[in-house]
Amino acid sequence: MELTFQKPFDAHLHLRQGAVLSGYARRAAAFFESALVMPNTKPPILTADDLKRYRAAITTAVPNWRPLMSFQIHSHADIPALKAAGAVAGKYYPAGLTNADSSSCQTLADFDSVLAQMEEFGIVLSVHCEAPLYSEEVRHRVLDESLEMSVRFPNLKIVLEHISLEREVEAVRLAGENVAATLTAHHLTFTAADFIGSKLNPHLFCKPILQNEKHRGALRAAAVSGNPRFFFGSDSAPHLPEFKTGTAVSPGIYSMPVTLPLLACLFEEADSLTALESFVSVFGRRFYGIPETSEKITMIKKKLKVPFETDGVVPLCAGAELPWSVKESEEK
C-alpha cells in the first residue's frame, strides 16, 4: 500500500545551532517541505539580526528548503523589524519553562503592547503550553491567559503548542477561529506508562510530559477529527546522548526520523488514513497563511527498522520496527 500527498509542513521544529544543525535540518527537509523553526537556541533568537543569522545558517545547510522563522517574545521585541526580517511567529515561554528561557516576565499580560503589535503586523503568537507537573495551577493559567488574549486581540492568531491534555483539546474546540493547536506524534502515540512504566526511558522524556490514556485518547480524536484547528507540529527536539543520560537528563525527543511513519500507523489504526494529509500538510499551512506546495511525499506500508543512533542522536523508537516508511527518504 502507498500513500502520496502534499509534502508536509512541520509547525514546530527544533534545529539547534552550531555543528549539529546541518544534520538535523537535512533530515527535516527530507520529510517536510517547510517548517516553523523554534527560537530556543543558545543564545535564543530575540532580534531581527538574530533571526536573519539563524535563517542564513539553516539555508546554508539546506539551500532549497523553506524554514519559517520565529523569535522569543520579550518586552523589548522590535516587532516591525522582526516582521521585516521575515518573522512568522513569536514564541511565548512561561517563565522558567524551557531549556533556553531568557524571559523574566511571568504572564502573557506582561507583553500586552508586544501582542498588540503582533496582531497589527500579522505575527502568530505561539504559546509554549506546558507547566511543571507539580503545578496544574500554572498550567491552567497559561491556557486561560491564552484564551483571554484570543478575545482581547481577535485578529491575533494563537497556536497552543504541543497540547497534551484533554482540557486543552476542549479549550481549542470551544475557542474562536483565531486559536489552534499543534499535536506531536509522540504525545499521540505514547503514554506515561511507556516513559516511566516498568523501566524509565529517558528518550521518551519530553516537555510537556507524556500523559495517560484518557488524555492521549482526546488528542487522537482531535488529530483525526478533520477540525482544521488541530494540526501537526513534531516538536522534534534532539539532544546529544550525553544530555540524555546521568543525573540531569534534558527534556526533548528526536522524533524527526520516525514522526511520519508513526502518524501513518495512528491514522491507519483510526481508519482515517485519508485524513492524514490535512493534518500534516493542509491545516497548518492554512492557519499560518503559507502557500501550498506541489512537492509530494510517498508513504509506503513497508517495514522501517529504526537505527539505535542517527545524526549523532538516539531517535524515538530506536531499535524498533515500524510498519510504515517514507519512500523518498530511502531513495536518497
Chosen residue from 6, 98, 164, 259 binding ligand NCD by CB under 6 A: 98
Binding flag, residue 40, ligand NCD (CB under 6 A): yes
> Closest-CB residue for ligand NCD?
252
Nearer to ligand NCD, 270 or 318 (CB): 318
Taking CB under 6 A as the rule, does residue 235 contact ligand NCD?
Answer: yes
Q: Kindly tell me which of 7 and 27 has the beta carbon lying closer to ligand NCD.
A: 27
Residues 6+ apart with CB under 8 A from 197: none
What x-and-dash track marks residues 202-241 binding Zn ion by CB under 5 A?
Answer: ---------------------------------x------
Q: Determine whether 235 is an active site residue.
A: yes
Which one, 149 or 253, has the nearer CB to ligand NCD?
253
Restricted to residues 104-133, the positions that interact with ligand NCD (CB under 6 A) are 128
The residue (of 227 and 236) whose beta carbon lies closer to ligand NCD is: 236
Candidate residues 251, 286, 293, 310; the one interacting with ligand NCD per rule CB under 6 A:
251
Three-class HEC string of the chain: CEEEEECCEEEEECCCCHHHHHHHHHHHHHHCCEEEECCCCCCCCCCHHHHHHHHHHHHHHCCCCEEEEEEECCCCCCHHHHHHCCEEEEEECCCCCCCCCCCCCCCHHHHHHHHHHHHHHCCEEEEECCCCCCCHHHHHHHHHHHHHHHHHCCCCCEEEECCCCHHHHHHHHHCCCCEEEEECHHHHHCCHHHHHCCCECHHHCCCCCCCCHHHHHHHHHHHHCCCCCEEECCCECCCCHHHCCCCCCCCCECCCCCHHHHHHHHHHHCCCHHHHHHHHHHHHHHHHCCCCCCCEEEEECCCEECCCCECCECCCCCCCEECCEEHHHHHC
Shortest Å, Cβ 206 to ligand NCD: 4
Among 3, 6, 9, 14, binds ligand NCD (CB under 6 A): 14
Q: How many residues bind ligand NCD (CB under 6 A)?
A: 11
- Which of residues 100 and 221 has its CB atom nearest to ligand NCD in the complex? 100
Q: Please answer whether residues 238 and 14 qualify as being in contact, where contact means their C-beta atoms are separated by less than 8 angstroms.
A: yes
Residues near 74 by Cβ (< 8 Å), separated by ≥ 6?
Answer: 46, 102, 103, 105, 114
Q: CB neighbours of 331 closer than 8 A, spacing ≥ 6?
A: none
Candidate residues 22, 59, 99, 329; the one interacting with ligand NCD per rule CB under 6 A: 99
Q: Which is nearer to Zn ion, 94 or 117 (CB)?
A: 94
Quote the least distance from Cβ 263 to Zn ion, whole Å.
17
237 sits near ligand NCD (criterion: CB under 6 A): yes
**Catalytic option among 10, 49, 101, 235:** 235
> C-beta of 249: minimal distance to ligand NCD in Å?
11
Smallest gap, in angstroms, from Cβ of residue 252 to Zn ion?
A: 8
State yes or no: residue 41 binds ligand NCD (CB under 6 A).
Answer: no
Q: Give the catalytic positions in this structure.
A: 235
Where along the sequence are the contacts to ligand NCD (CB under 6 A)?
14, 40, 98-99, 128, 206-207, 235, 237, 251-252
Where along the sequence are the contacts to Zn ion (CB under 5 A)?
235
